[in-house]
Amino acid sequence: MPTQFGSPIYQGHQSSFDSSAVAILRAAGALIFGKTTTTEFTATNSGPNTTNPHDPNHTPGGSSCGSAAAVADMQVPLSLGAQTGGSIIRPASFTGVFAMKPTHNAISTEGQKTFSPTFDTFGFFARSVADLQLLADVFALRDDDPLQELPLEQVSVALIKTPMWGSAGPGTAMAMKEAARVLTSCGASVEEVSFPPEVADVENLKRIHKVIIVGEAEASFLREYRVDKTNLAPEICGMVENSSNYTKQERVQASDTHANMRRIINNLAEKYSVVLTPSAIDEAPLGLGDMGSAAFNTLWTASAL
């Protein structure tokens, strides 16, 4: 059965109890059960010793690790998280639960510690699509056109491996191949689609994302840095100190380029009913020191899709 409000929900550590999202959930009748762990300010690639419920020797992914693990471990039916790079989609993939990273700015981030305003997106974890729909309704997530039920024969699927496909491991490659096979066998039209040349340069994509995220983090974490930088991870201190030496001109150019790239990708996606794309480079890594790569996530996070 789909979850009914009155059941407990975990919220991610990076959100305060009086955040806009929590207030909306309380007003809808949800019981906020507690806070889960995350990496430091959702910015580092390692953090709390939260394990993967399916195998404690593997990471549950970051940075919303506790939120994903709590749902996968049957502690709660729903939980909240935030994504700057891949902090919702990747942990969901690693722990085998459903997740929704809504359109950027579809849910207010008021009350949540900012990392990168251009990318920060509020979302949730659940054990069923019906439960995700429950939360989508509470947060009034609607498209311009009403939802339609289409027979699979009328569904067009864009299989987009993205320019990062060279990073894909055997698990991801097999999952994509099998998904395409199942959809095709059920009557859907599946077409492998490449990104246009303007957005197909892997190194350029990585650099643009990094320039924007690091540049915005410099301002976001300045308060914590001034108050007590000795308690901050070296990665965060490096962002505030601009150890990458990015100039203001580079940041402006990166933002302009990203805005143009977003339009190109959105125009491409609008031609299809569904986009099928990797959520992680492979299965959850062994150990807790590496929470996985967001290579397949970041380019979608600030999209208007």
Domain span holding position 102: 8-146
Widest CA span of the chain, in angstroms?
59
Q: Which of 11-15, 149-153, 171-175 has the lowest mean pLDDT?
A: 11-15
- The band of 3, judged by pLDDT with boundaries at 50, 70 and 90, is low
Q: Are 67 and 101 in contact (CB under 8 A)?
A: no
Confidence of residue 6 (pLDDT cuts 50, 70, 90): low
In what side-by-side order are the strands of the sheet with 189-192?
Answer: 189-192, 156-159, 274-276
User: Distance from CA of residue 292 to its chain's centroid?
Assistant: 13
Supply the pLDDT for residue 12. Answer: 66
Q: Identify which has the larger pLDDT, 82 or 11.
A: 82
- Answer whether residue 121 is part of any domain: yes
The mean pLDDT value for 161-184 works out to 97
Mean local confidence (pLDDT), 42-68? 93
pLDDT higher than 80, residue 57: yes
> Quick one: what percent of the chain has pLDDT higher than 70?
93
- Give the separation between CA 213 and CA 224, rounded to whole angstroms: 17
Q: Once rounded to an integer, what is the mean pLDDT over residues 37-54?
A: 90
pLDDT > 90? residue 15: no
φ/ψ of residue 191, rounded to 5: -130, 125
204, part of any domain: no
Residue 88 covered by a domain: yes
Q: How many domains does the chain have?
A: 1
Could you count the other beta carbons within 10 Å of the beta carbon of residue 232? 20
* Residue 13 resides in a domain: yes
Residue scoring higher pLDDT (11 or 126): 126
- Section 91-104 average pLDDT: 96
* Mean pLDDT taken over the chain: 92
> In which band, very low, low, confident or very high, does the pLDDT at 51 lie, cut at 50, 70 and 90?
very high
What pLDDT, on the 0 to 100 scale, is given for residue 17? 44
Q: What is the pLDDT of residue 192?
A: 97
Distance CA 239, CA 226 (A): 13
Residue 25 lies in a domain: yes
Range of weakest confidence among 16-20, 41-45, 121-125, 193-197: 16-20
Task: Report how far apart, in Å, the C-alpha atoms of 219 and of each of 96, 113, 232 are.
Answer: 35, 12, 15
User: What's the pLDDT tens digit per position in 80-92?
Assistant: 999 999 999 999 9
Residue 39 belongs to a domain with what CATH number? 3.90.1300.10
* Residue 20 belongs to a domain: yes
The residue assigned the tokens 């410099």 is 218
Is pLDDT of 231 > 90?
Answer: yes
Whether 288 is in a domain gets the answer no
pLDDT band at residue 143 using 50, 70 and 90 as cut-offs: confident
Stated pTM of the model? 0.92
103 has pLDDT over 50: yes
User: Which H helix or E strand runs over 91?
Assistant: helix 89-95
| 202 domain residue, yes or no | no
Residue 46 CA to residue 40 CA, distance in Å, equals: 8
